[in-house]
Structure 1
Amino acid sequence: MTDKNVEPDGGLSTKEQEVVDKIEEEGVDFLRLQFTDILGTVKNVSVPARQAEKAFTEGIYFDGSSIEGFVRIQESDMRLKPDPDTFAILPWRQKEDSAAARLICDVIDTSTGEPFEGDPRYVLKQALKRAEEMGYTVNAAPEPEFFLFEEDEDGRATTKTNDAGGYFDLAPKDLAQDVRRDIIYGLESMGFEVEASHHEVAQGQHEINFTYDDALSTADNVGTFRTVVRAIAAQHDLHATFMPKPIARINGSGMHTHMSLFDEDGNVFHDDDGQFNLSETARSFIAGILEHAPAITAVTNPTVNSYKRLVPGYEAPVYVAWSDRNRSALIRKPAARVPAASRVEARFPDPSCNPYLAFAALINAGLDGIEQGLDCDDPIRENIYDFDEAKREEYGITTLPSNLGEAIDALEEDEVVLDALGEHIAEKFIEAKTHEFSEYIVEVSQWELDQYLETF
């Protein structure tokens, strides 16, 4: 198998040589070779920068048996293959005479020399390959929300917010403007094009939006975004968390995900003559996501805590429906100023998800809708939160799983989403999440103690 990033004589490709030159120009002394495990946690192997050429031509080996869901001990050798397009200087590690940088890597199975099927980045690449075979490229733009909390005297996270701000508030209520500013500077130094930032609805909650990109670059960017936000918040003695619902009875954090498909003629989701300027292809894509939504939820909302956010009354969607304007629906068609901006917005994912797996699940479900020629029901333009059960039944509106256990059950029954994950990751993901839910249901919470200990 020929490595497209390496010249036939075993030397460096043009892009790889540019990275090696940049490392020398910027005084980079260490490289972090990053990848993610199945749960979406960013891992890295740090090597001296002088190993850059070797990393590109030979790869860097590591023990995969210690990584969640990767391989057994007897088949543990893995190889990291850096993607030169992902090179970036780490803004919080720059000094006058040195710097650190990162490269996002693909994981190679050393026994075969092929991409490792348990690598989440490979899973997304397979979904994009399917789209390409259908004549499409996929663009995506997420909106990851996060909370900023104060730290205690030992440097551990609390749930005490450092402001009393609300949606789009300014100082003095929003005390985190300087933190967001520094985060934006850090992101921009790593190649992000930030569109906007603002205080979100809940106290201590924030959102920073970056521009549309191809789905693989966007998934890479989500992992980078979470890392940058945490690192720069820590410089301000704050803890940043992407936990979906860290505080009860206030809004949780979502990761609304915008998607569109393009072919050689442009945005295939746009149709001047379609309802809301949506094409039949877009409607089929929406229908596919709605069809597989319960199973997708296991991937896009993968923690026990995710389902504390997915409840009525806190602006998080729980009803399987779509709309052009109604934020109570699972899928929304946002307004678009130009045809190229036509897109659909999945409002149910949250920022605790593995972005590679989440995008793969959403894309495969949408493509399945196109292949089957599905059409979605009429959009719901009323506030579904105001519907009683009878009216929801009348409209044929179902609900998402109410907990992680139900979502895993739905995933196990959905061949389309299982195929999106691949056999290896599907098995390991279900095993890990089944264990997580089993651990959760045997725990006794403080709420139960407060409610029952002195009553019974």
Structure 2
Amino acid sequence: MTSATLSDDAQAVIDEIEERDIDFLRLQFTDILGTVKNVSIPAEQAEKAFTEGIYFDGSSIDGFVRIQESDMRLVPNPSTFAVLPWTSAGDHTSARLICDVYDTATDAAFDGDPRWVLKRAVQRANDMGYTVNTGPEPEFFLFEEDEDGDATLDFSDSGGYFDLAPKDLASDVRGDIIYGLEEMGFEVEASHHEVAESQHEIDFKYDDILSTADNVATFRSVVRAIAAQHDMHATFMPKPIPKINGSGMHTHLSLFTEDGENAFHDPADEFNLSETAKQFLAGILEHAPAITAVANPTVNSYKRLVPGYEAPVYIAWSDVNRSALVRKPAARTPAASRIELRSPDPSCNPYLAFAAMIHAGLDGIENDLDCPDPVRENIYDFDEAERAEYGIETLPSNLGEAVDELESDEVLMDALGPHVAEKFVEAKRQEFREYLVDVSQWEIDRYLEKF
């Protein structure tokens, strides 16, 4: 490839690297499963990274390429430069740059790069005249580490929803996480103790959906790193402890027009939702079973998606209760009109999950889908007959069913693209097969001496 000219933005980053005496750059990307990967390079290589890219072996990354197609190239985005706060007190200071992945054979964006999948979804929205904004609410647990530094399931506090210290003993840890995020450029809007012991939530500012996906990927790394400094283990596993609330990532969505108006707002509507918003919402509901495979991508995800623990499993929407899959939150201003998809969990790959949501909603707009009436009763109290009367279906009950739904949904498979769709389905089928042949401790405890 021909070396690119150094852009003004890239030069500004190089200047900041020198001013802040940065030693190493971590070039960040994610694999198809959402695991954050990085290649560390000396800061002196920054100009080369911006103009030529950094080459790596793609065959070693889950779901990327085969061994004979292994050469890939990372191209960093200058706007994503951020110093990693937990490294600045040590001997060497590191900074992060989020990268796009390129195929060296074609010198084009790599179809298997999850960030590229989301970029294609964003472009589809842009072509229709919309900017997509989103705000996630990721939850996580902070558990104690043992004397060897390994994770345990021991609670780090006894707090509950919105509790303060002394019950919320991890409030100082959460505070350090927030300071770290703010040092990296996050605008944190709220944080609090969640319902379960040792469970927490930190919400950051509503933003364009690509920036938000970048932030979610970074957020998980920051939380884990700073928790480890306090001898705690942070986990985004959806349901680490049975019979208590699991961790979700409720996701707020809205579309804005090219002139900066919220396309979801209509002051004349009973729910202040425009026809565009209702069509988008209808698309989300229509494709919800397939979205679940991407937004709830682990076997463990379905231990959270059960009635009774505030996790929605019923495909409906409401403006007044949280038992429905989609909620229309109250909005103080027209710009705040939005919908909230409550099923996703923080184990998902944010790039793929957000791409699935965009394509599902835009499909609703393009096909003028009818939005059902809201369900204002508590669906958890409905029996099967009442749910049938309202026409309320349920989300898949396990990962295998969810992948079946994904494979049969042409819109969502097209959203992922052939490469990612094939590799994602293959990986999730394998995960579910391994789960089915495993024997759990529950089974041992229940059956070993009984039979």
TM superposition score normalised by structure 2: 0.99
Give, in whole Å, the separation in 1 of the partners of 2:91 and 2:326: 49
Residue of structure 2 in register with 1:378 after alignment? 373
Equivalent positions of 1:324-363 (< 5 A) are 324-363=319-358
1:237 aligned to 2:231? Answer: yes
1:396 to 391, 395, 408: 391
- Please tell me the root mean square deviation across aligned C-alpha atoms, in Å: 1.1
Give, in whole Å, the separation in 2 of the partners of 1:95 and 1:61: 30
Residue of structure 2 in register with 1:77 after alignment? 71
Structure 1 position 264, deviation (Å):
2.5
Residue of structure 2 in register with 1:29 after alignment? 23
Give, in whole Å, the separation in 2 of the partners of 1:292 and 1:193: 31
2:86 to 67, 89, 92: 92
Residue of structure 1 in register with 2:121 after alignment? 127
Give, in whole Å, the separation in 1 of the partners of 2:81 and 2:370: 42
Give, in whole Å, the separation in 2 of the partners of 1:301 and 1:66: 25
Equivalent positions of 1:150-169 (< 5 A) are 150-169=144-163
1:312 aligned to 2:288? Answer: no
Instruction: Output the amino acid matched with 1:49.
Output: A
Give, in whole Å, the separation in 1 of the partners of 2:208 and 2:327: 20
Equivalent positions of 1:197-212 (< 5 A) are 197-212=191-206
Equivalent positions of 1:185-200 (< 5 A) are 185-200=179-194
Residue deviations 1:130-159 (CA, integer Å, cap 9, x gap): 000100000011000000000111111011
1:57 aligned to 2:74? Answer: no
What percent of counterpart residues are identical?
Answer: 77
Preserved CA contact (<8 Å) 1:26 1:98: no
Tell me the secondary structure at the aligned position of residue 271 of structure 2.
helix
| Count of residues in correspondence between the two structures | 450
Equivalent positions of 1:270-289 (< 5 A) are 270-289=265-284
Preserved CA contact (<8 Å) 1:195 1:209: yes
Give, in whole Å, the separation in 2 of the partners of 1:152 and 1:380: 46
Residue deviations 1:354-374 (CA, integer Å, cap 9, x gap): 000000001100000000001
Tell me the secondary structure at the aligned position of residue 327 of structure 1.
coil
Preserved CA contact (<8 Å) 2:25 2:43: yes
Give, in whole Å, the separation in 1 of the partners of 2:302 and 2:308: 13
Give, in whole Å, the separation in 2 of the partners of 1:411 and 1:264: 32
Residue deviations 1:295-323 (CA, integer Å, cap 9, x gap): 11000000000000000000000000000
Give, in whole Å, the separation in 2 of the partners of 1:99 and 1:395: 58
Tell me the secondary structure at the aligned position of residue 20 of structure 1.
helix
Give, in whole Å, the separation in 2 of the partners of 1:46 and 1:96: 16
Residue of structure 2 in register with 1:291 after alignment? 286
2:111 to 117, 126, 139: 117
Structure 1 position 96, deviation (Å):
7.3
Give, in whole Å, the separation in 2 of the partners of 1:325 and 1:33: 43
Instruction: Output the amino acid matched with 1:402.
Output: S
Preserved CA contact (<8 Å) 2:131 2:258: no
Give, in whole Å, the separation in 1 of the partners of 2:219 and 2:155: 21
Tell me the secondary structure at the aligned position of residue 152 of structure 2.
strand
Give, in whole Å, the separation in 1 of the partners of 2:319 and 2:419: 37
Preserved CA contact (<8 Å) 1:401 1:407: yes
Instruction: Output the amino acid matched with 1:33.
Output: L
Preserved CA contact (<8 Å) 1:296 1:411: yes
Residue of structure 1 in register with 2:13 after alignment? 19
2:419 to 419, 424, 447: 424
Give, in whole Å, the separation in 2 of the partners of 1:190 and 1:251: 30
Preserved CA contact (<8 Å) 2:299 2:399: yes
Give, in whole Å, the separation in 1 of the partners of 2:271 and 2:258: 23
Residue of structure 2 in register with 1:449 after alignment? 444
Instruction: Output the amino acid matched with 2:272.
Output: N
Preserved CA contact (<8 Å) 1:27 1:97: no
Preserved CA contact (<8 Å) 1:361 1:420: yes
1:322 aligned to 2:280? Answer: no
Instruction: Output the amino acid matched with 2:84.
Output: L
Give, in whole Å, the separation in 2 of the partners of 1:126 and 1:154: 44
Preserved CA contact (<8 Å) 1:27 1:98: no
Instruction: Output the amino acid matched with 2:122.
Output: L
1:146 aligned to 2:137? Answer: no
Give, in whole Å, the separation in 2 of the partners of 1:275 and 1:153: 57
Residue deviations 1:316-360 (CA, integer Å, cap 9, x gap): 000000001210000000000000010010000000000000000
Q: 4+ runs of 1 displaced by more than 6 Å?
A: none
Instruction: Output the amino acid matched with 2:232.
Output: L
Residue deviations 1:177-217 (CA, integer Å, cap 9, x gap): 10011000000000000111100000000001100110000
Structure 1 position 11, deviation (Å):
2.7
Preserved CA contact (<8 Å) 1:360 1:420: yes
Preserved CA contact (<8 Å) 2:74 2:99: yes
Instruction: Output the amino acid matched with 2:201.
Output: E
Give, in whole Å, the separation in 1 of the partners of 2:184 and 2:212: 13
Give, in whole Å, the separation in 2 of the partners of 1:13 and 1:98: 27
**Structure 2 spans left out of the alignment, 5+ residues:** none
Structure 1 position 275, deviation (Å):
2.3
Give, in whole Å, the separation in 2 of the partners of 1:275 and 1:113: 51
1:106 aligned to 2:100? Answer: yes
